[in-house]
Amino acid sequence: MRLKLNGTDLEFQDGITVAGLLKNLEIEPAKVAVEVNLKIIKKQDYQEQILKDGDSIEIVNFVGGG
Amino acid sequence: MDDKLVIRGIEFKSRLWVGTGKYKDFEETKRAIEASGADVVTVAVRRVNIFDRKSENLFDYIDPKKYKILPNTAGCYTVEDALRYARLAREAGISDLIKLEVIGDEKTLFPDTCGLLKATEILAEEGFIVLPYTNDDPVMAKRLVDAGAAAVMPLAAPIGSGLGIRNPYNIKIILEQAKVPVIVDAGVGTASDVVVAMELGCDAVLLNTAIAGAKDPIVMAEAMKHAVIAGRLAYKAGRIQRKLYATASSPIEGML
C-alpha cells in the first residue's frame, strides 16, 4: 500500500502499524511525534494504530531553532 | 542570594535562555550553550529526515535531561499551524512548555498579535505553559496574560536584527503592569543590550543570533552569561539618579 510519509509517497506492507513503521525506518519512538491524517497519535497507541492505504503521515522531531 | 526565576512552579537556574539555531554544527551549538550557562534551550519542530537515518540529532549533543527544552512554533503564520506545531511538540517532548509564535509578516517577522492571542487562549486551556513571543505593546501583553500566558516575551527588535531594545519605555510599562515574568525575546545584538534589558527589570533574556552569529560564538556566549548577571545585580542594587551636574566624590575638607 501507498503512504504519504513526510510529504513523499512510499510503499509499505499492508497492515503495518505506527510502531512497525517507526521500526522499519529505525526511528526511536521516544524522540518523535507522529500525526496520521492530521491527528496526533499518542505513544501508547503506536502498537494498535494500523495504517491504511493513502494515509498521510508526518513524523517530526526537534531541530535547532530560536 | 536566592534570586531564582520561577514560572508556574518550574524553577530556572539561569536568566539567560538561548536558541539552538544557526550554529555551524552541533559541536559549536553544544560548546556555546555550555559557555552561556543557560539552562533553557529553544528548539524547533520539523520533519524527521526519513532517508538519512545516520544523520546526527541535536539531542546527541544537547542532553534533554540537563536542559529545559522549550519548543517553539517558529515559521507558523496561522493560529491553526501554531496549534498543530505546539501539540506535536508536546507529544514529542516531555513538558507543557511552548514558546508560542504566530508570525504576521515575512520581512519583519513581527507577531500577528490577533492570532497570537487566540492561540494563547486555546493552548492555555489545553494545559500548555504558554510563553508568547509578542511585540512591545503593553496592552497586548496584558491581554495575553488575561488569556492565560504564563509569561510574556516582548521583542527587543526584529528577530536576528541585533538592533537592541528599541523601545525601553514600553518594556518598562509592560514590566510595571505584568503579573507574570517578562522575558525579552529577540533582537538583542550584544552584551550591553542584554544588560539594558536586565537593568529595566526584565526577568530573563532569550536570544539566539547574537551568539550564533558572532565571530566567536563561544566567547560571545560567555559575555552574555556575565551580561545577564551584571544587569540583574544592577537592577536589584538600584541605580543612582541621573543628574545634570557633578557631585564631587572626594571631600573638600582637608584641602590645602
**Which of B22, B54, B68, B99 does the annotation list as catalytic?**
B99
Chain B residues touching residue A35 (CB < 8 angstroms): 84, 88
Chain A residues touching residue B160 (CB < 8 angstroms): 66
CB B21 to CB A66 under 8 A?
yes
Cα dihedral B137, B22, B88, A12 in deg (nearest 10): 150
Grid coordinates representing B209 are 543570533
Number of domains in chain A: 1
CA–CA distance, B18 with A61 (Å, rounded to integer): 19
pLDDT score of A50 = 97
Q: Is B118 on the interface with A (CB under 8 A)?
A: no
CB B84 to CB A59 under 8 A?
no
Q: Is B69 on the interface with A (CB under 8 A)?
A: yes
Query: Is residue A65 domain-resident?
Result: no
With 0.90 as the threshold, say if the pTM is over it: yes
Mean pLDDT of B244-252: 94
pLDDT score of B94 = 79
Mean pLDDT of B181-202: 97
A32 burial level (CB within 10 Å; 0-12, 13-18, 19+): buried
Nearest Cα of chain A lies from the Cα of B239 at a distance, in angstroms, of 32
Which residue on chain B is closest to A60 by alpha carbon? Answer: B47
A48 burial level (CB within 10 Å; 0-12, 13-18, 19+): exposed
CB A59 to CB B50 under 8 A?
yes
What are the tens digits of pLDDT across the range B16-47? 999 999 999 999 999 999 999 999 999 999 99
pLDDT score of B228 = 98
Are A50 and A15 in contact by the 8 Å Cβ rule? The answer is: yes
Domain CATH code at residue A39: 3.10.20.30
Residues of chain A with confidence (pLDDT) below 50: none
Q: How far is CA B136 from the centre of its chain?
A: 13
Q: How confident is the model at residue B133 (pLDDT cuts 50, 70, 90)?
A: very high
Query: Is residue A38 domain-resident?
Result: yes
How open is the CA angle B157-B97-B221, to the nearest 5 degrees? 50
Phi then psi for residue B152, to 5 deg, are -120, 145
Residue linked to cell 512497525? A20
Does the pLDDT value for residue B159 go beyond 80?
A: yes
**What would you report as the CA-atom Rg of chain A, rounded to the nearest whole angstrom?**
12
Cα distances (angstroms) measured from residue A38 to each of A33, A34, B88 = 12, 9, 10
Query: Is residue A24 domain-resident?
Result: yes
ipTM: 0.95
What are the tens digits of pLDDT across the range B206-221? 999 999 999 999 999 9
Give start and end residues of each alpha helix (H) in chain A: 18-24
Query: Is residue A31 domain-resident?
Result: yes
Query: Is residue A49 domain-resident?
Result: yes
- In chain B the first and final C-alpha atoms are separated, in Å, by 45
Query: Is residue A55 domain-resident?
Result: yes
Q: Which domain holds residue A21?
A: 2-60
Query: Is residue A33 domain-resident?
Result: yes
CB A66 to CB B74 under 8 A?
yes
Mean pLDDT of B65-74: 95
pLDDT score of B1 = 54
DSSP code per residue over B26-68? HHHHHHHHHHHT-SEEEEEEEE--SS-TTS--GGGTS-TTTSE
Residue linked to cell 528599541? B166
Q: Is A26 on the interface with B (CB under 8 A)?
A: yes
pLDDT score of B55 = 77
Are A52 and A2 in contact by the 8 Å Cβ rule? The answer is: no
Does the pLDDT value for residue B104 go beyond 70?
A: yes
CB B91 to CB A42 under 8 A?
yes
Nearest to B19 by CA among B8, B5, B32: B32
pLDDT score of B23 = 95
Query: Is residue A66 domain-resident?
Result: no
Nearest Cα of chain A lies from the Cα of B18 at a distance, in angstroms, of 7
